[in-house]
Structures are given as structure tokens and as C-alpha cells.
Amino acid sequence: MSHLDPERLALIAIENSTTDAERDHLASCDACSIELAELEHTVTIGRSTLNLGVLESPPERVWEAVLSEVRAQSEGTGDTRDTGGLEHTSPTTGAAPAAESAASGPDTTAAEPAVRLRKRRGLSRLLLTLAASIAAVVVVVGAWNLTRPPESVEIASASLAAFPDHPGAAGAALVTELPNGERTVTVNLDAAAGEGFREVWLITADASALVSLGELEGSEGTFVVPDDIDLRDYVLVDVSQEPLDGDPTHSGDSIVRGELDFG
Ligand SMILES: [Zn+2]
């Protein structure tokens, strides 16, 4: 069995009902059971934030769509009792249904009014149940999006080319902006080991200024870009071989270097 559909998981989280197959899958699948646990947590949050107004728009749109369905069912029968009660929860719709049904008249209900009424009420209930489910899913998914960590965005990248003294070396750099505005550079380096250590730098295009981001241990490292560094100026990513001489300046022995591409 493939993983459970996210919307299905959301409904399980809301209604607490599973099929045997779903229960079996949840018992054996960590991914789905963790997701369900998160959703159940979110349902709690979603229910507690329902009154905050943050998530009003989608449920209201769904609600309106269902209301118009119910109204369409009421039209032509002259009976607006089913929607009459709903109007109190949606003041913007006013008394339109009553006017519409008055215009269309109760001409088609004469044959089997009781049956029609039952059918219509059944359909209305179905639609309301559906609306409640859809609204709940929308609320849960919305709350889930609010509570899950926002995404980071990749804003630039560079391929790092070898200097003549380091034939065969290659590297790559990826600049990511976090939701809080912090930028990081992740550097990968594939190069033969040398004496001392390796250091990652940002350098201006004309090499008039440079800033050290830190030591690269191993083949990959992620470094925070200082707030006051404009990456449009410091467009060169450089990895140098540094001797253990206590001198914090660039050794002049670059292994790889590349220019950031902001795509
Ligand atoms: Zn699964």
C-alpha cells in the first residue's frame, strides 16, 4: 500500500475514523503515523484558533459555495426553511433566497411534496456535512501551514573552479535566505588534502575587500553571511588553503573560486 493521501490523513485526524487497511498501514508506517500525529496536534491548534479570524477566507468561500447549492435546491419548490436557518450565520447574503423562491413559485411540488422535501433535506444535510468536512480540512491545512516552519529560499549559487596550483579541485556554493532574513552559504569542496586548513571567503569582484566566513572542515560546510555584507558586492566565493601560522589574512593560496549567480 502506498502512503496515505494527505487529505485522507487530515480527515482521519479530524474524525478519528480509519479503515482496517489504513489502520494497518499506520501501524507499520512511521512516515504516515508521524504525519497523522502532527495533523492531530494541528487539529487541536486549528480548533483553538478558529475564532482568531486568521483562516476565515477559505472556509467562508466554501461555505458560500455550499449555500448557493442549497439555495439552488430550494428554488422552484417554494420552501426556504432549510436555508432560512443558515442565513443567520451569513448576514451578507440577506433575504435573497426568500425573494427568489417567491418569484419562482411553488408550482412543481404539488405531485409528491413530502418525498421532495425529504430528498431535499437529505441533500441539504449532506451538503452541510460536506461543507463542515471541507471547512475542517481547509482549516487544518491552513493551520498546518501556519505552524510548520517556513521554507528557506535559494537566492544564488556558484560553481567553484580550481586554481592552477590545485588541479582537479572543484566546488560549489549555494546561498540560502532563511525566513528571518539571515543568509547562509553552503560550500562543497572536492580537493586533495593539503597542509594546514581550508578557509571560506567572500571577495568583492575587484578583489578590493574580502571577509572570512570560517574554516571549512571536511568537504562541506554552511556559513552565516554577516548582515552588513552585500552579496551583490561580495560576489566571489573563495576557498583557500591556510597554513597554521596564526595569520588571519588570506594566504594567497586559493584552491577554488567562483562568482555567485543570482539567477
Ligand atoms: Zn505511509
Cα 22 to ligand 1 centre (Å):
9
pLDDT, position 10 = 79
Res. 22 pLDDT band, cuts 50 70 90: very high
Domain boundary residue among 114, 133, 148?
Answer: 148
Cα 135 to ligand 1 centre (Å):
25
Cα 81 to ligand 1 centre (Å):
45
Cα 10 to ligand 1 centre (Å):
14
Domain boundary residue among 113, 128, 148?
Answer: 148
Q: Are 140 and 157 members of one domain?
A: no
Which has more pLDDT, 179 or 261?
Answer: 261
Number of structural domains the chain divides into: 2
Q: Which amino acid type is present at position 107? A: D
Q: Residues 85-103: pLDDT tens digits?
A: 444 444 444 444 444 444 4
Q: Residues 116-162: pLDDT tens digits?
A: 555 555 655 665 666 666 667 777 767 666 666 667 899 999 999 99
Provide the domain limits for residue 121: 1-148
Query: Do the bridges between strand 183-190 and strand 220-224 make them parallel or antiparallel, or are there none, so unpaired?
Result: antiparallel
HEC sequence for 129-182: HHHHHHHHHHHHHHHHHHHCCCCCEEEEEEEEEECCCCCCCEEEEEEEECCCCC
Cα 149 to ligand 1 centre (Å):
22
Q: Are 127 and 17 members of one domain?
A: yes
Res. 228 pLDDT band, cuts 50 70 90: very high
Q: How far apart are CA 103 and CA 78, in angstroms?
A: 9
- Reduced to 3 states (helix: H, G, I; strand: E, B; else coil), residue 76 is coil
pLDDT, position 234 = 96
- The whole-angstrom distance between residue 213's C-alpha and the CA centroid of its chain comes to 30
Res. 215 pLDDT band, cuts 50 70 90: very high
Q: Are 21 and 98 members of one domain?
A: yes
pLDDT at position 31 over 80: yes
Among 49-53, 95-99, 220-224, the minimum mean pLDDT is found in: 95-99
Cα 13 to ligand 1 centre (Å):
15
CB 211 within 8 Å of CB 229: yes
Residues paired with 224 in a beta bridge: 184
Q: Are 208 and 221 members of one domain?
A: yes
pLDDT, position 5 = 85
pLDDT, position 160 = 97
Cα 4 to ligand 1 centre (Å):
6
Instruction: Report the share of the chain in percent with pLDDT over 70.
Output: 61
What are the grid coordinates assigned to 20, written together?
A: 482496517
Domain boundary residue among 110, 128, 148?
Answer: 148
Q: Are 121 and 160 members of one domain?
A: no
Q: Are 138 and 188 members of one domain?
A: no
CB 222 within 8 Å of CB 175: no
Q: Residues 154-198: pLDDT tens digits?
A: 999 999 999 999 999 999 999 999 888 899 999 999 999 888 999
Q: Which residues of 238-259 are buried (b: 16+ CB within 10 A; e: fewer)?
A: bbbbbeeeeeeebeebbbbbbe
What are the grid coordinates assigned to 149, written together?
A: 516552519
pLDDT, position 91 = 45
Cα 129 to ligand 1 centre (Å):
28
